Structure 1
């Protein structure tokens, strides 16, 4: 930027600072509320149609407009429907935390709505979000809330099926089998099937439940899985259920993998063929995995390359869609702010004119001298800032390059050596090869996350929670307490970034050096300080305490820059504990 561009700005700023202004009262903007019911109804029809056609970007924009135009009391049903639809779209796109936040906005409205479908949809969304983030205890709570509602028999049955699905995720397959069997033999779906009164969409629900019984038996190594798989496939073929056909064939491929490899390969190829027609992420990923498991020789390398390319493409698509949704929300908010700004522009203009009349000749002399000083400072600081920025970029690139070399070179070498020196036709070798590929992918994702931009606005706590939840797995449960018990908006931006990076480094150290299965993170405000306490139940940390101390030295240095303190105890018999605090 040229130095001359700063002069008009500095003149205006100094006019305001050097000479006292008169005390005028601002003219408040009066906003008249209008009846938007007709427009809300029109937009609801359009948005619902786009939603049904999977045009989620268009639907998302219209639902946001509906929420903006709605009076939560007068247009409550349309308002709640729009919130539920947005929560579903966010869930489909994998934004589970945003979906949960949107669905939570519906909860205060439920007491005013007589129909239970609103509560049923809301609890179902929240339950599925918890399942997606591996928080199965909370997922089960909300699935049971949906079941306990006085809803229609079909919704009641589907709520019970959702409970069974959570049990499947938890690995409690016997409970899941019991519920699904009751639903499809003596319950809602079973009774309607006996009287041939199931509608087509109910038959498809029935097929999903029967197939889930098969999956549960398969996970128990029980041969009774096969007839359930075959029954579900027969129904889906008859009704041309393209969405679920790939899963049926993939299930059968896994079933025959050890007993009949040729048949398993045939089913896997059929599953992949159908998944390419539907082109949905979950089905295509499962089909490719079964193809790799059931293939031999060059086919394994062929399908492994397709699998890696597919995962990379999906990640790029998801990032693009997430940015598009974020841009829609940002532009929508920006339009609202600009409209409010225009309403008070006239009053601000009058105030500015009055300020200019109060300036004197002496102020112009002071301004001229100050401008010369500012021009020199701006010129000097601009050059200095460019040099520091270039140095920082260069150092960051070197650091990322070193991390890629140190973290990935060995893994890539081991993967290539394994593929070259081992027979990939062997099932265990195939599984090991997939594990190598998955480990490389996860490390690349971790490096990308470590160097990503940190949001420090009102979404900071959600971003922090999302980062922490990414460390959760089937073997590790992370409990977060007190994250939102105080306002993060009152905390300095630099401090929020340091807290984010410190927690990230502690979790990285725990993941690589500890065998913990449970981690607790507690956030607490004590007078004018923020206290953050970390604890886990790991048992291997004392063996590597010297290395850990070196890693935590970087953490301590970060905390010292914000006048904070850090304490840790790697020798505790109850696991590793570390806590730090800093002034607000």
Structure 2
């Protein structure tokens, strides 16, 4: 019993221990399979960078890229591409560096981040320049400017201008080089508060000096370099040594026997040796080899070989070829064997051309893809533009059609109004003629008959009848006169003045001023008729109702309108009852028909003031 229990307990413990080990291993494997965080990987890359362990930095950048893709972190994906481009550049593996710059460039184009795309093109252009592919560098840099010009990315824009300027100088176009260099300086001039690195300013300044030297304007070039040397003497030995090295070289080009040239070149070499600057030492050795090339060939060869050594350290085939271009003729002049150098020269030429071709192929493929994408986008934009244009044309047609309809309605209404006025005028004339010719004549005939039948004119009853008939006859003549045709031509002024004066009598004094005939020249016939009728109606109203003893009418004209003022000293009326109680509604309608305005000012027993205004 006890034995069985002990055995069972043993197996139970064994099972639990094995399960725990399996769980622990599973947990460890799971932990190991968990991707490192992006932050930790970046920290590791930073540590490698400080130690200049660029190969390790590249490996961890690849790791960063995979982790970023897993997490779909777009900014880190781009950063990983850029890091690989940067570290390969540091290792002088320019083909690989260019490849990853291109990866970052195309990735940012897909994200439509054209600013970063332009910056990556600067890195690509600088690699092409380093490989001596100046035409390719210039084309790439100009593409970069298409993304960056007129943006706030001033440092990168200056870098692109600088690359183009150097490429133009190396291609033998100093005037074009100077033009692009001036563009870079204009950015500095127009943006004095922009945060541009001093090193960038020194680079474009020295480039200007180099371009001027290429144009054989040595004095101007040396003056620029001297200014930089004075500025950096106690602040930046790297920039100072570069300035005096170039200055020594240009002084020698200007005058081969210039003793100061040798002093400046040797001083620059001393400083660069203390700084252990490989690129600077290469430049100093090359210029010293050139300086001694014709006078001290053995010394020149030693400096050329030193330059070649540093070119190899830099892994720069262009620099190596530049050194070999001096070594080979110097060895030939000194009767030394040149077979090894010649073989190396040929190999470097092949290697350099291969790198150039590889990079051109990378960019050509990318350019083709991007151009195809751009064409597709342009096609879509064209289709959108066509649709927008069709919408605009449809809208314009609709607006035009509505305008035509509106004009037709307006024209019809205007014609209808005109016809109504003509009918009204014809009716008035017909009534006037009927009153004058028929009713007036009948009354006159009746008066004649009464006079013939009356033996004595003193008969009171007959006298009253005759007076009544005479009064009716005069009123009929007045009504007829009110509706006679109006001359709207040159005689309108005289007719208008006659109308006003016709209402002056012994009991009512009417004052007005005769106007010049030209006063009414630019007034439309319709307006003249309506104005005539309005004044006529006011005067009739005055005669019938106002009991006025004094009436004044004035007419004033300016460039835009005519103002007519009527004033009487009659009994006046209540303004609230003027339309319905005084029959002046017709006056307002007539003024409205000529788009004028009328204003009544009146109080009982205080007379009437009427102001008429209408546009010319």
Could you say which structure has the larger radius of gyration? 2
More helix by proportion, 1 or 2? 2
Provide the TM-score with structure 2 as the length reference. Answer: 0.45
Q: RCO (CA 8 Å, sep 6+): is it higher in 1 or 2?
A: 1
